Amino acid sequence: MKSIAYRAKGFMLPVAIFLLVTLAALVGYAMRLSLLAQMGTIQDVQGANAYLAARAGVEWAAYQVLSPGSVSMQSCIASPTTLTINNFTVLLTCNRTVPKDKGNTQDIGMYSITSTASIGAVGAQDRIERQIAVTLSRCLYLDPGAPPGTVAEECN
């Protein structure tokens, strides 16, 4: 009869292989979680940057249509307009309506501006896109008793 030590010989090799495979799988899983966390952080930062690019687009378009110092209603920027801000493609659209008041003394320009900032290919995992929509108004008063050629002024 063979001794117990002889029959147990080689028993530790399968246990060691099992432990190595299990530890390797755990390390791989931990690395995958770390990579996903880093990708999430990068997308968060890029999302904030996309928001800022979209906001910059809205501010630029608002300056163009409100045109401080002008005495006439400005038309919308060419729509759609594409800008590049910090590698983000910013697409701007603008719509304008100019209703008159009942006394026909005020021009009220209503501007709807939409700015969409994006980076990355459509459908790609790393695509980031943010959109901001604003509505602005500008009012110009036309004095009905003023002589012809009088310049309109901002409403109060």
DSSP code at position 86: T
Residue ranges of domains in the chain: 4-154
Q: Measured between alpha carbons, how far is residue 116 from residues 68, 110, 121, 128, 139 in Å?
A: 24, 20, 14, 10, 27
CA 97 remoteness from chain centre: 26
Find the radius of gyration of the CA atoms of the chain: 32
Decide: pTM greater than 0.85.
no
Per-residue pLDDT reduced to its tens digit, 21-55: 999 999 999 999 888 888 888 888 999 999 999 99
Q: Measured between alpha carbons, how far is residue 92 from residues 9, 56, 59, 118, 138 in Å?
A: 76, 11, 11, 12, 19
Per-residue pLDDT reduced to its tens digit, 107-135: 788 899 999 999 988 888 889 999 999 99
